[in-house]
Amino acid sequence: MLAVPDPGGTTEPSLQQLRIFLTLGEELHFGRAATRLHMTQPALSRQMKDLEKRLGVVLFSRDSRTVSFTEAGRGLTEEARVTVEAMGRLRLSAAHWGRSLAGHVVVGTIGAEAAMPYTRAILEHLSASQPRLTVEIRSLNFIDHLAQLLSGDIDVAILRPPVPAGIELLELATEPRVACLSVTDPIGDLAKIFLTDLGDRVFVDVPPEVPRVWWDFWAMDPRPDGTRVRYGPVVSDMEGLLLAVARGDGMCFLPAAARELFPRPGVRYVDVVDLSPSVSALGWPVQNRDRPGVRAVRAAASAVADSGRGRTPPR
């Protein structure tokens, strides 16, 4: 029979204890849970006993061979998860406000966006209009550029739409897209090609964590005639993508500025007559649009966009 802890006079559990509880609930094994949490098994056991004492209920049934939820443990799992997730959001929000109050803003970029003329123009405008605002530029890969924006790890991002729901955009520039092909692909000898010429080519793919709405646009999937794209190697950043193309493992579409910004051995760029253009934009989470740091970057980007500065990308 399980001994029920005395609920009288208990104190609130710590966030660490709730994380331990959730991890043990996933593993149902003290050794594996301790390994995941980078702590010793005795320390984990002590924390769980203390949590049960604080909550006044037994959470797990233990014997020499198995660990299982009690009815109370199973019932409290979702509440514990909600509490941990809420605390995580609170910390991110506090960090965001802390950056704003300290006059610090984090600008994420993907690909070569940090080198583009509109990015330089925005940073110059920020420096002139907000001399006490410090700006951190963070280079991001395919996976994290949208995830970090939505989570609040970065304040704004200079990126290439489309984007998932929850992100607002300010358009900065538009430019054509080109096909990025291996030099061994014979179609690359043509000055210009059409999408139908590429129908049998394998396209480089991205990890499942990347929003599909974003990569479907870059892959033109489906094509105008309704055919679906055949995908090949999976890459998470620009260098991995270019390497896959150079090896002949797949192709991709990139902004025309890639000709100048990403010359690589084994890679060539070809104009595609009927390929839609690419837009560059400043993005920010909808709920953060009026935070001081975000507002300052938005104002700088609006001024740059209205003036037309930086609209001509490298060729």
Q: What is the pLDDT of residues 135-182, one digit of tens each?
A: 999 999 999 999 999 988 999 999 999 999 999 999 999 999 999 999
Angstrom distances, CA of residue 71 to CA of 21, 23, 52, 58, 76:
14, 17, 13, 9, 9
What does the block give as tokens for 51? 């949590």
Residues whose CB falls within 8 Å of the CB of residue 290, separated by 6 or more in sequence, listed in order = none
Average pLDDT, integer, range 29-42: 89
Contact 96, 88 (CB under 8 A): no
More confident residue, 287 or 313: 287
Position 261 confidence tier, pLDDT thresholds 50, 70, 90? very high
Average pLDDT, integer, range 43-68: 90
Which residue(s) pair with 135 in the sheet?
A: 105
Percent of the chain whose predicted confidence (pLDDT) is above 90: 72
Is residue 197 pLDDT above 80, yes or no?
Answer: yes
Position 6 confidence tier, pLDDT thresholds 50, 70, 90? low
The sign of the CA dihedral 230, 233, 239, 243 is negative
Residues whose CB falls within 8 Å of the CB of residue 291, separated by 6 or more in sequence, listed in order = 96, 97, 100, 155
Pairwise CA distance, residues 235 & 238, whole Å: 8
pTM: 0.67
Among 234, 282, 276, smallest CA distance to 118 is for: 282
pLDDT tens-place string over residues 96-123: 565 554 589 999 999 999 999 999 999 9
Contact 180, 242 (CB under 8 A): yes
| CA 132 from centre of chain | 28
What does the block give as tokens for 156? 């704004």
Q: Which residue has the tokens 């020499």?
A: 64
More confident residue, 215 or 94: 215
Among 166, 162, 151, smallest CA distance to 214 is for: 162
Q: Looking at residue 66, what is its pLDDT?
A: 86
Position 63 confidence tier, pLDDT thresholds 50, 70, 90? confident
Q: Looking at residue 121, what is its pLDDT?
A: 96
Is residue 253 pLDDT above 80, yes or no?
Answer: yes
What does the block give as tokens for 125? 């405008």
Q: Looking at residue 1, what is its pLDDT?
A: 38
Is residue 312 pLDDT above 80, yes or no?
Answer: no
Average pLDDT, integer, range 30-39: 89
Instruction: Please give the mean pLDDT across all residues of the chain.
Output: 89
Q: How many CB atoms lie within 10 A of CB 101?
A: 11
Average pLDDT, integer, range 84-94: 77
Give the chain's end-to-end CA distance (angstroms, integer).
76
